[in-house]
Amino acid sequence: MASNKGKSMKELIFATQNKNKVNEIALIVPENTNVISLLDLGYEKELDEDFETLEENSLQKAKFVFDLFGKNCFSEDTGLEIDALGGAPGVYSARYAGEEKDMQKNMDKVLLQLGDSKDRKARFKTVITYVTSEEIIQFVGLLEGEIGKEKKGINGFGYDPIFYLPNGQALAEINKEEKSKISHRGIAFKKLISHLKK
Ligand code: ITT
């Protein structure tokens, strides 16, 4: 992502293989930080997510990658929580409509389940876990909105076309710079950066 020059440069492994997450984070990485993803490291094996909470899955991924590479690292796990569906898809967001992780099918399932429901309140929740030899710490980022009645926009990824912001725009209708400023992922990552500055 960035070259590691000056001596105060911080190097961090981002324990993800999701290119979209990497691209969003890249926009808000401070100049003194070099973020290296698992894609950069050529690590392609899917990371296990065996638990039923974002916190535990995020911790599992970060610890695994820290043990593997022995370098300061962070992971993030994100889920979409829809109130009228009792918090689903939540931790099952990637595979909501099946193992093939097909986002069109995942979104169609949500739209079908909600039907004409008036209560469409939802939020994205990101849990970042930062692991070093000295500490393990988590940071949460939330983005509140609602599930629209149709898919809108071509930007972003995942559930962005059906997640509407309070102003009525779908997350897939704003560009990635704007998304990074307001998003669950951006908020959690900025908390990590402030922690690193302490
Ligand atoms: P990792 O390598 O980081 O585990 P992943 O794709 O498995 O990547 P998650 O388990 O954190 O990612 O995410 C679950 C799903 O939630 C993901 O596949 C997306 O479909 C969706 N998702 C995550 N972040 C999103 C965002 O910012 N906007 C829309 N959908 C998102």
Q: Taking a C-beta distance cutoff of 8 angstroms, is the pair 192, 28 a contact?
A: no
Q: Taking the model in full, what pTM does it have?
A: 0.94
Q: Is the pLDDT of residue 3 over 60?
A: no
Question: How high is the pLDDT of residue 197?
Answer: 87
CA of 30 to the centre of ligand 1 (A): 23
Of the candidates 2, 6, 9, 15, the residue with the CA atom closest to the CA atom of residue 136: 15
List the residue whose alpha carbon is closest to atom 20 of ligand 1: 158
Structure tokens at 100: 């093939």
As a whole number of angstroms, the distance between CA 41 and CA 22 comes to 13
Q: Compute the 3-state secondary structure of the chain and give helix, strand, coil in percent, each to the nearest 5.
A: 35, 25, 40
Question: How high is the pLDDT of residue 7?
Answer: 57
The kind and range of the H/E element at 138 are strand 136-147
> Ligand 1 in contact with 21 (CB < 6 A)?
yes
Q: Which residue has the higher pLDDT, 11 or 1?
A: 11
pLDDT in tens, 89-121: 999 999 999 999 999 999 999 999 999 999 999
Question: How high is the pLDDT of residue 167?
Answer: 97
- The length of the chain, given as a count of residues: 198
Q: Of the listed 67, 77, 108, 116, which one is catalytic?
A: 77
> Ligand 1 in contact with 89 (CB < 6 A)?
no
Q: Is the pLDDT of residue 79 over 50?
A: yes
Question: If you average pLDDT over residues 5-20, what whole number do you get?
Answer: 84
Q: Is the pLDDT of residue 2 over 80?
A: no
